[in-house]
A and B are shown apart, each in its own frame.
Chain A
Amino acid sequence: MSDPILKIHNLTKRFGGNTAVSGINLEVAPRETLAIIGPNGAGKTTFYNMVSGRMVPTEGSIELNGQDITGLKPHKISRMGVSRSFQLNNIFPEMSVRQNVEVALSAYHGYSRKLFNIASGNKKVQDEADELLERLSIGDLSDQRAGIISYGDKRLLEIAVVLATKPKLVLLDEPTAGMTPDETRRVTRLIRSLADSGDYTFLITEHDMGVVFDLADRILVMHRGESLVVGTVDEVKNHPEVKKAYLGEDDEDDNDREAAV
């Protein structure tokens, strides 16, 4: 394995007496796609919040390309090449779809502090925004107000905003949650193509096992804040504890789970 882009050591977050994330160790290789699965409350989002700077870990360390980023503020971590999406849509609802991406592009290119340019006249940002929206297959929506487009399109728009800052490491939090099967297929295909482009390293939390097995190079299974197992798709599928704890091997709904896979 080449030098890891992300190296996490003993990462722990406690809220009062409640341990949300406990002693996670993880290395992620560049251009890898790692899925993080686990039931609700397993600590996936808390884990993201620490990596992206939204929360300060109680214990442990996070290294990005060998640099310690533990406890840095979100904007600092973002500038170092980490970008994330949220479980609930997180966009600028009153702006047009294109402007949503322009905000992020302006931040990346350092235009945000310009007081006397005309934002809508910036050809470079406009072109890049159009290209990105095209890549996410929502180019035809660019002049719509972001607050009124469909739920699935909003999720795609958020991914466009996430990618606009040209991150190396992308954290997606349940990108297909609440989507129709059609939308799920569309997003999965899209993430697949982005991952195949070799430009990004992805961390993806996801409940849809079909999506996980389709996209992931490796899977981290979390359970009650702990790392249950990290391994390839096959290793995780056949891991006895995972079957018991998460996939519910000996439950009655076994068939449904298999169908989802």
Chain B
Amino acid sequence: MKSAIIVGALLLTVVLLIALPWYAPYFYIFIGTEILIMGLFAASFNLVFGYTGMLSFGHAAFFGIGTYATAMLLLHLQWPLLACLAVSMGVGALLALVIGFMSVRLNEVYFAMLTLAFGMMVFSIAHMWRSVTNGSDGIAGFTLGEFGLGIDLTLGNPAVYYHVVLGIVIVAALVLYLICRSSFGMTLQAIRQNAERVSFCGLNIRNYRLAAFTISGAFAGLAGGMMAPFLRVASPEMMHWSTSAEPVLMSILGGTGYFLGPFVGSALFVLLETWITSITQAWMLFLGIVLALMVMFFRRGILGTFLDWWLDKK
């Protein structure tokens, strides 16, 4: 019964999201696009955080390199969008493999600090290497060509681009979800709960952490890639450590214990930011209050707290 309700609620959400351009104000097409992209970014982060138990503070590097990859390919080679995004995924995974290789051997706060340090290095490179990245101006002035696969879409139309993002995010989220439900995903959760027991079951923990980190980097890169046509620019700020904090905050807001938590967190984050900044400049003050209350009273996040309560109910 309850699983039927959940499936029904999910389908309804998808229908409402598809229909968004027809009932919501024009402005919300942009909000929706941002929520979806940041939601995928946060969900990719949560594979490492909520599932495997590693707090990465450098995920903006994978997100940002994805944005740069798509922006540069559009600018210099005018590739179809899908091909650009595939490359974004690839470079996100590759960078995560390199950074992860050096980071996953450490635990807890040391892992967090090391990923933060690598993230800052990547940011500096994007900022300083003017001949390639165009420094603080970033990569801009690219135009959107075709979508790929011979599908004819006017990507420059915000509503069309919103639907493209929605489709890609749904497919990517399904793949991520399947990974979480697999034996591999179960093993990651076991590692979070008791890494030592898992290694005494005969598994090399480091390899599993690295695999999770690399997969996470791939999806963060994909999310970043979709950001390029949306913002029309790839700039170093996207790799700044404050960008790394966003998926952390979103995951905690929505709840790290459920797969969709980070998506709910992304929606809350972006909507609150939009509404509050339209009233006052002090958005960070309100975000701080909301976060403090969440951590003090609803540690499982909005979605987590609700689902815990509802699934427990007879």
Contact = CB atoms under 8 A, between A and B. Distances in A.
Contact of B179 (A75, A102, A115): A115
24 contacts: A73-B199, A74-B196, A75-B199, A79-B202, A84-B200, A90-B194, A90-B197, A91-B197, A93-B193, A93-B194, A102-B186, A103-B187, A106-B186, A107-B198, A111-B183, A112-B183, A112-B187, A113-B184, A114-B183, A115-B179, A116-B179, A118-B182, A120-B181, A161-B201
Contacts of A102: 186
A92 B187 CA distance: 11
A92 B194 CA distance: 6
A94 interface: yes
A122 B186 CA distance: 12
B200 A112 contact: no
Contacts of A93: 193-194
Contacts of B211: 113
Query: DSSP majority for the B interface?
Result: helix
A95 B191 CA distance: 12
Interface string A125-162: 10000000000000000000000000000000000010
B200 A119 contact: no
Interface residues of B, number: 25
Contacts of A79: 202
A115 B178 CA distance: 8
A78 interface: yes
Contact of B201 (A99, A108, A119, A125): A108
B202 A103 contact: no
B45 to A, nearest CB: 18
Interface of B: 178-179, 181-187, 189-190, 193-194, 196-205, 208, 211
Contacts, number: 93
A52 interface: yes
A115 B184 contact: yes
B183 A95 contact: no
Contacts of B193: 92-95
B122 to A, nearest CB: 27
Contacts of B194: 90-93
B178 A116 contact: yes
A223 to B, nearest CB: 28
A78 B200 contact: yes
Closest 4 CB pairs of A and B: A78-B202, A111-B183, A107-B201, A119-B186
Interface in A55-87: 73-75, 78-79, 83-84
A2 interface: no
Contacts of B201: 75, 78, 103-104, 107-108, 161, 164-165
B196 A90 contact: yes
B202 A122 contact: no
Contacts of A111: 183
A112 B198 CA distance: 11
B199 A78 contact: yes
A117 interface: yes
B60 to A, nearest CB: 25
Given A107-B203, A112-B187, 8 more contacts: A75-B201, A78-B199, A92-B194, A102-B186, A107-B198, A113-B211, A118-B178, A119-B186
Interface centre among A52, A74, A78, A93 (most CB of B within 10 A): A74
Contacts of A92: 189-190, 193-194, 197
A117 B187 CA distance: 13
B182 A114 contact: yes
A103 B194 CA distance: 11
Given A90-B194, A92-B193, A122 B200 contact: no
Given A90-B197, A92-B190, A103-B190, A117 B202 contact: no
- Of the candidates A112, A113, A117, A122, the one having the most CB atoms from chain B within 10 angstroms of its own CB is A112
Contacts of B185: 119
B215 to A, nearest CB: 8
Which among B185, B187, B200 has the highest number of chain A CB atoms within 10 Å?
B200
A117 B182 contact: yes
Contacts of A106: 183, 186-187
Nearest to B189: A95
Contacts of A108: 201-202
A78 B199 CA distance: 8
A118 B202 contact: no
Contacts of B178: 115-116, 118
A99 B200 contact: no
B153 to A, nearest CB: 29
A118 B178 CA distance: 7
Contacts of B200: 52, 74-75, 78, 83-84, 90
A255 to B, nearest CB: 40
B186 A107 contact: no
A73 B204 contact: yes
Contacts of A73: 199, 204
Given A91-B194, A95-B189, A95-B190, A116 B182 contact: yes
Nearest to A164: B201
A90 B198 CA distance: 10
A79 B183 CA distance: 18
Given A75-B199, A78-B199, A91-B194, A103 B204 contact: no
